[in-house]
Structure formats: C-alpha cells, structure tokens
C-alpha cells in the first residue's frame, strides 16, 4: 500500500488548526513541516503548537532546521509516529538515531534536491525511512525536480526494503511515476491544500477530492519496491 501523506506547512497556529482539521478525516498519516527560518528562508509554527494538539492520526514531524540536535527533544515529547531530520544538518546522525529510537519513535532522514544519496550510505541500514525532497525546502508550490526518480532507484539499490518518501511538487502523473520507480509514500502539500484546479464547494470538499484523485492516479501501479 502506498501512503498519501498531506503535508502541512503553517506560519501560525490558526492556519495549522484549519488545515489539519480539513485533512484529518481523509488520511491515516499527516506530515507537519517545521522550518526555523535558517535552514530555509521561511518560518513556521513550533513544538508548542503541536504539543497542545490532540489527534488519533499518525503524525510525521519533518524538521527543516539547523542545529538539529537542539530541536529534537521538544518534538520527541510530542510523541509523533515518526520524526524526519535533514541529513545536511545532523552533526552526529548515529546518536540522533539512537536517541529518537529510545523513545519508540521512528526516525528518517531527508535529503535536499542537491544532496546525493551517497550521504545515506553509512546510516541507511539504521533508519526507518528516507525522505527525498523534490523541491528546495521551506516553500510549497514549487516545480518537481525529475532527478528525484533516479535517486529513488539509487536508494532502493542501497537498501531494497527501505521506506522511501517523496516530498514536494507531487501531483497526478508525477505521483504515479514516483511509485513506479519505487516510492512508498507521497508527501503532498500544495496539490491537496492549495489546489484551485479541484472542483468543490468547500475547502474540505476540495481536499477530499484531491486525495481521491491522487489515489486514483497510483491505483494498480506495479512498484519496483
């Protein structure tokens, strides 16, 4: 089964609550993007908003921050199902993996579009997932970088059973191709949350339809996983 994971990047608590409640009925997983304004030139909500929020859904926290070790503990307290950290800012990835796993939380590493998958070589057998960013971090609505297809293949060769997520610029057609190349999950922001192409009388109806369209796009695809 391929996971369609709505990705929420919100600058304020009210915006986060509105988007979360809109996608919550239609998905098992929800990704929350956290940006510090340094790793990428935008800034979002922080751990205080998430720690006060209650949901039965599986949460994936993607941290796009510098000095990742200074950010981990507040989000560990949130008890998400998975935490994603950028390989580019992890000074001691082995210690990070051990620390997060100690709290019974899955850990994955993200790679920016310009980061080669060889950065994962020494830790890929120790992580639960790898997230490939197909756009530069911090902004939704960017164009998908097609070089990501080859990176999916390369990761699959490095570790055949690794859970691979693709994040950024995903829409119908691209979603199907990502799965054909071996992706397990598609993290989708703009197409689900900001899509004016989708018909629907309400914001929530548009979100429901967008998720349905993505599921239809990947239906029956034979993944190379």
Catalytic residue among 3, 14, 15, 33: 33
Catalytic residue among 36, 128, 167, 217: 167
Contact 51, 73 (CB under 8 A): no
Query: Is 33 tagged catalytic?
Result: yes
Query: Is 116 tagged catalytic?
Result: no
Active site (catalytic) residues: 33, 167
């Amino acid at each position: 089964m391929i996971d369609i994971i709505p990705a929420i990047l919100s600058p304020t608590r009210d915006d986060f609550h509105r988007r979360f409640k809109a996608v919550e009925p239609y998905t098992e997983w929800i990704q929350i993007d956290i940006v510090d304004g340094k790793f990428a030139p935008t800034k979002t909500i922080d751990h205080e908003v998430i720690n006060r929020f209650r949901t039965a859904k599986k949460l994936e926290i993607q941290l796009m921050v510098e000095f990742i070790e200074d950010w981990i503990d507040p989000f560990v307290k949130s008890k998400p199902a998975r935490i994603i950290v950028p390989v580019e800012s992890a000074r001691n990835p082995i210690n990070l993996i051990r620390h997060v796993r100690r709290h019974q939380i899955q850990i994955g590493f993200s790679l920016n579009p310009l980061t080669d998958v060889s950065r994962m070589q020494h830790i890929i057998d120790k992580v639960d997932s790898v997230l490939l960013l197909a756009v530069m971090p911090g902004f939704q609505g960017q164009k998908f970088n097609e070089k990501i297809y080859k990176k999916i293949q390369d990761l699959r060769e490095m570790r055949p059973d690794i859970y691979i997520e693709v994040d950024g610029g995903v829409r119908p057609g691209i979603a199907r191709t990502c799965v054909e190349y071996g992706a397990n999950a598609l993290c989708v922001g703009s197409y689900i949350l900001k899509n004016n192409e989708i018909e629907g009388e309400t914001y929530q109806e548009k979100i429901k339809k967008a998720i349905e369209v993505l599921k239809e796009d990947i239906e029956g695809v034979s993944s190379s996983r």
